[in-house]
A and B are shown apart, each in its own frame.
Chain A
Amino acid sequence: DGGITQSPKYLFRKEGQNVTLSCEQNLNHDAMYWYRQDPGQGLRLIYYSQIVNDFQKGDIAEGYSVSREKKESFPLTVTSAQKNPTAFYLCASSIGPPDEQYFGPGTRLTVT
């Protein structure tokens, strides 16, 4: 089955700790994206990557970091510098930037 996997589904961390969210796709897509979803705010773009070894900041990149060493993988690290990290994080991919985006099941991060 082709698709996007995100793990874990739920993640709990203490304030001040860095945490890495996993995103893997087997769709052979070049472009990958990370979004954050908060109640009442809709989805906001954190980072995106159009090709391996390249990525750009989205609208709310502060406190986050990414890497794109493999086509299939685009992990997101939520650092201790992110002021409000508790949210639902969604990963997506597409053939290229303006093409149809497909989303993973999401990871719900809770930081206390």
Chain B
Amino acid sequence: KQEVTQIPAALSVPEGENLVLNCSFTDSAIYNLQWFRQDPGKGLTSLLLIQSSQREQTSGRLNASLDKSSGRSTLYIAASQPGDSATYLCAVHAGGTSYGKLTFGQGTILTVHP
């Protein structure tokens, strides 16, 4: 059974810092990996999707990497801003008998203070 773990559970940084959020998964047979952002009481906003054949994907100040063989992904946020404060969720699209199902990590709660 696929399990997704995110470290750290919470992170508090001053504005302007570069930071890294970590995601690990137990079964490397994935189609792709998706990073989301969730603001309190809101739905999820898709940030980046990395295909299993890709090593990284970039969008603005965000860069996500994927090492499928070791079961790891990182989300790098450059020059953090207070508006980046949210919960960041990692999810993997499974293969095999669980084709297309998303398995989520518990999330990292990020606080960027001015």
Contacts and interface: CB of A to CB of B under 8 A. Distances in A.
Given A42-B107, A101-B34, A96 B43 contact: no
Contact of A97 (B36, B100, B107): B100
Interface string A76-112: 0000000000000010100011101111111010000
A52 to B, nearest CB: 16
Contact of A50 (B49, B93, B100, B102): B100
B107 A106 contact: no
Interface string B49-88: 1000000000000000000000000000000000000000
Interface residues of A, number: 26
Contact of B102 (A4, A101, A105): A101
A98 B100 contact: yes
Q: Is chain A's binding surface mostly helix, strand, loop or mixed?
A: strand
Interface size class of B (residues with CB under 8 A): 20 to 34
Contacts of B41: 106, 108
Contacts of A4: 43
Contact of A100 (B42, B43, B49): B49
Given A97-B100, A97-B101, A106-B42, 20 more contacts: A31-B100, A33-B102, A42-B104, A42-B105, A42-B107, A43-B89, A43-B91, A48-B100, A48-B101, A90-B43, A90-B44, A92-B44, A96-B100, A97-B93, A98-B32, A101-B91, A101-B102, A105-B42, A106-B41, A106-B43
Closest 8 CB pairs of A and B: A97-B100, A98-B31, A103-B44, A103-B43, A43-B104, A105-B43, A100-B49, A98-B93
Interface of B: 31-32, 34, 36, 41-46, 49, 89, 91, 93, 99-102, 104-107
